[in-house]
Amino acid sequence: MGVSANRQAETASRLVSGVIVTQIVDTTSLQAAVTEYLARDQDTTLIARIPTFIQLAEAKLNRQLFVRQMEQRSTALVDTGSSEPEFISLPDDFQSMRRVRLSDVTGKPCLEFKSGTQMDEYRFCISDIAAQPRYFTVFGDEIEIAPTPDQNYTIEMVYRQNIPSLASNTSNWLLTLAPDLYLYGALLESAPYTKEDSRIQTWGLGFSSALNDLNNLGLTSAFNAGPMTVRVSGQVF
């Protein structure tokens, strides 16, 4: 085979559904890269399952990835005209709470977390008299604040959000930051489906390495300003 023929064969091997895989920048190029790594570009049934592999990888990443990019800030306005102004809907992409505070009150005081039982006991002790909220709890898709607000406060929530799904977005911050994590994650999910048990270790090592690197980077970027110190809660200096 001549040089020209070799180049044609090389180019053909890198063509997936008419796409030359040079870099992963969006959902289309990610799916093309997964197809290329699996070397099953003629298996249309397998190719149709790739979005599912990506979805499963995202579900795992939402449980195992902890980086500052997953923290989001959102505000909500208390409506004292409603029948239950102490209940506020959580953001659609909410995963876990970091902080709740009254952003329109001088000093922007943070609300302290209490369990549902503690909130009930507190309301009983104060006869549920309306006042500036001091506490919050989370359940279902809402937060509850207490005391019941006596005016329309602005509630600011800092929370851990789910990764924007590639099922409804052409790209997201994680794909831009760590395309290898998405690639190995999808490949790892494909192994049981293709019954390629020998590839589980290969894809798993690639996924674990990328995940650990990114988590370590997230820890460094969040706490590299100085040494961490232990301080009594409520102590300012």
Residue 236 lies in a domain: no
Residue 155 lies in a domain: yes
Q: Based on the domain organization, do 83 and 155 belong to the same domain?
A: yes
- CA-CA distance, 103 to 153, in Å (whole number)? 8
Residue 231 lies in a domain: no
Q: Based on the domain organization, do 155 and 100 belong to the same domain?
A: yes
Residue 234 lies in a domain: no
Domain that holds residue 103: 68-161
Q: Based on the domain organization, do 129 and 172 belong to the same domain?
A: no
Q: Based on the domain organization, do 168 and 145 belong to the same domain?
A: no
pLDDT by position in tens, the chain (length 237): 444 444 433 433 444 444 455 689 999 999 999 999 999 888 999 999 999 999 999 999 999 999 999 999 999 999 999 999 999 999 999 999 999 999 999 999 999 999 999 999 999 999 999 999 999 999 899 999 999 999 999 999 999 999 999 999 999 999 999 999 999 999 999 999 999 888 899 999 999 999 999 999 878 766 555 555 565 655 544
pLDDT at 19: 46
Cβ atoms within 10 Å, residue 99: 14
Q: Based on the domain organization, do 95 and 142 belong to the same domain?
A: yes
pLDDT at 119: 96
- CA-CA distance, 158 to 74, in Å (whole number)? 7
Instruction: Calculate helix-pair angle for 44-64, 27-38, nearest 10 degrees.
Output: 110
Q: Are 96 and 145 in contact (CB under 8 A)?
A: no
- CA-CA distance, 56 to 148, in Å (whole number)? 41
Q: Based on the domain organization, do 32 and 53 belong to the same domain?
A: yes
pLDDT at 218: 78
Sequence-separated (6 or more) residues with CB below 8 Å from residue 96:
159, 160
Q: Based on the domain organization, do 42 and 58 belong to the same domain?
A: yes
How many independent structural domains does the chain possess?
A: 2
Q: Based on the domain organization, do 84 and 141 belong to the same domain?
A: yes
Q: Based on the domain organization, do 188 and 105 belong to the same domain?
A: no
pLDDT at 231: 58
Give, as one character, the DSSP assignment of residue 70.
Answer: G
Q: Based on the domain organization, do 56 and 169 belong to the same domain?
A: yes
Residue 98 lies in a domain: yes
Express the helix, strand and coil content of the chain in percent, nearest 5 each.
45, 20, 35
Q: Based on the domain organization, do 25 and 91 belong to the same domain?
A: no
Q: Are 135 and 169 in contact (CB under 8 A)?
A: no
pLDDT at 35: 94
Strand segments (E) across 12-128: 15-16, 19-20, 71-77, 87-89, 94-102, 112-113
Residue 84 lies in a domain: yes
Residue 233 lies in a domain: no
Residue 230 lies in a domain: no
Q: Based on the domain organization, do 75 and 153 belong to the same domain?
A: yes
